[in-house]
Amino acid sequence: MSTTNRFNAYKIMWVLVFFDLPTETKKERKAAQLFRKQLLKDGFTMFQFSIYLRHCPSRENAAVHKKRAKSNLPEYGKVSMLEITDKQFGNMELFYGKKEVDKPSPVQQLELF
């Protein structure tokens, strides 16, 4: 199997986690903070305040990270997860005000055999 087939834009995945968590009480703020910290610990990057994303080399790897995020869900609040291909992610247009900005580049990941 060639490297081109193994790592193409349709097999590489991005996992996006969107959330809106309550922060009215000290307990809710702590739960929200813990959820964000656990996402960061698992390799997610903050894309916007309540949107975190992670680059994954395959669907199977994306499923592992989605499962970890699900295991850390707080008791209250809304959390959504979306899995998209690298090709779909590459079609995103990003703006800061009216100025278009570059997309974040994926993190180099080491693959062990």
**pTM of the model as a whole:** 0.82
> Domain range holding 39?
3-90
CATH code, domain carrying 56: 3.30.70.240
**What pLDDT score was predicted for residue 12?**
92
What number is the average pLDDT over the span 68-82?
A: 97
pLDDT per position as a tens digit, 31-67: 999 999 999 999 999 999 999 999 999 999 999 999 9
Six token digits for residue 71: 């295991």
Task: Quickly state the pLDDT bin for 23 (edges 50, 70, 90).
Answer: very high
* Neighbour count for residue 31 (Cβ, 10 Å): 20
* 31 part of a folded domain: yes
What number is the average pLDDT over the span 14-28?
A: 97
Reduce the DSSP state of residue 17 to 3 states and report it.
strand
* 45 part of a folded domain: yes
What number is the average pLDDT over the span 69-93?
A: 95
Whose tokens are 């922060």? That residue is: 23
Provide the number of structural domains found in the chain: 1
CA 84, chain centre distance (Å)? 10
